[in-house]
Chain A
Amino acid sequence: MAEMIKLSIFRHDPDGDGKPFMQAFEVPLLQPGMKLLDALNYIKWELDGTLTYRRSCGEGVCGSDGLNINGVNGLACITPIEGLKQPIHVRPLPSMQVIRDLVVDMDHFFDQYRQVKPWLQSDSPLPEHERLQSPEDRERLNGSYECILCACCTTACPSWWWNGDRFLGPAALLQANRWIVDSRDEATGDRLDQVEDAFRLYRCHQIMNCMDACPKELNPTAAIGHIKRKLVSRKS
């Protein structure tokens, strides 16, 4: 008989009368290296079809299945079951409004992402071919462009919990820095203007939960530090 995995999963149906609760499930360990998403899929397909969660690529690229796993944010699809303390407590991302079970409302998160204007801004005439960049300049984008916007970092940030309506959060600021360091972008001044704010940027107190939570092992704290240094060098 297969080894059984114990899970405790957050359930909430906003249409029903009941309060949110944790529901226990037992899932067989189907294969070595089984991921948490496999266990959720097993529950959905074999035990309880009403369990609701987001998933898409299943390999840590789309960022759909960001969850709070045993108290730490991460992607279910790349989190191995082995090594997790059981019962595995699976909750939605912290401080987010729950739509149903493990699905949260991401509108505000993506709205903050849009606020940093995450696209190339340039007044120079369009080149005949592509906008060229030296290998060294391209190297500077490493550690920023890999972000998949799963919100694991932002929803792990206590500053965002307390002031998420104004503090842009680690994910959006990582992307702000991504365009600030991009040699092809010509709106650095505007970008710095837009984040120079006691709440939008300076609520970051280097707690570093973001870099701890990032499933892509990126470092938003360092990116925020870089923006702060750019602001100082602009003023000094």
Chain B
Amino acid sequence: MRTIKEPGSAHSGLSDWYWQRLSAVVLAVLLPLPFFLLVAVYSGSVDQQGLLDVLDHVASRVLHSVLILALIIHAYIGLKVILEDYVHVLGWRIPLIGTMLVMMSGFGIWWLALIWAWA
């Protein structure tokens, strides 16, 4: 018999679900932009100086930052849900999620630093 003593609701999950969808919308809007830029560069309509001008523009930096944040939030929640699905031992699950969070945050901070030239 698999019947378990029911611990009740943890009042969780809604924020993950919400942020995953919100970040997906942001990604759907912003992710094509770098590819358009890439196509423009390869087609020759934007040269190296033009590319640097676009990337240096404050609006580009803001959009780039939003894109990276959305990408990291989306990837983190997606991988967290996969770990929750398949890693059942708490002693593994929590450290794995924690490690992932630290690595992704570090990656995000590094990338933002590049965008805003803090490095």
| A contact residues vs B (CB 8 Å cutoff) | 97, 105, 107-108, 111, 115, 159, 162-165, 193-203, 205, 228, 231-232, 235
Contacts and interface: CB of A to CB of B under 8 A. Distances in A.
Interface string B1-26: 11110101111111011100000000
18 contacts: A97-B1, A105-B1, A108-B4, A115-B6, A162-B88, A165-B4, A196-B12, A197-B9, A197-B10, A198-B13, A199-B10, A202-B13, A202-B16, A203-B84, A205-B81, A228-B17, A235-B14, A235-B18
A164 B1 CA distance: 12
B8 A198 contact: no
Contacts of B6: 111, 115
Given A159-B85, A162-B85, A163-B85, A201 B13 contact: yes
Contact of B3 (A107, A193, A196, A232): A107
Contact of A108 (B2, B10, B12, B13): B2
Interface of B: 1-4, 6, 8-14, 16-18, 81, 84-86, 88
Given A97-B2, A107-B3, A165-B4, A198 B10 contact: yes
Contacts of A197: 9-13
B9 A200 contact: yes
Contact of A193 (B1, B9, B84): B9
Given A115-B6, A232-B18, A107 B1 contact: yes
Contacts, number: 64
A108 B14 contact: no
B25 to A, nearest CB: 14
Contacts of B2: 97, 105, 107-108, 164-165
Nearest to B4: A165
B37 to A, nearest CB: 33
A164 B13 CA distance: 17
Contacts of B81: 205
Contact of B13 (A97, A107, A159, A196): A196
Nearest to A236: B18
Contacts of A107: 1-3
B78 to A, nearest CB: 10
A97 B3 CA distance: 12
Nearest to B21: A232
A198 B88 CA distance: 14
Contacts of A228: 14, 17
A108 B3 contact: yes
Contacts of B11: 193, 196-197
Nearest to A114: B6
Given A228-B14, A231-B14, A235-B18, 14 more contacts: A97-B2, A107-B2, A107-B3, A108-B1, A111-B3, A111-B6, A163-B85, A193-B11, A195-B9, A196-B9, A196-B14, A197-B10, A198-B10, A199-B84
A163 B82 CA distance: 12
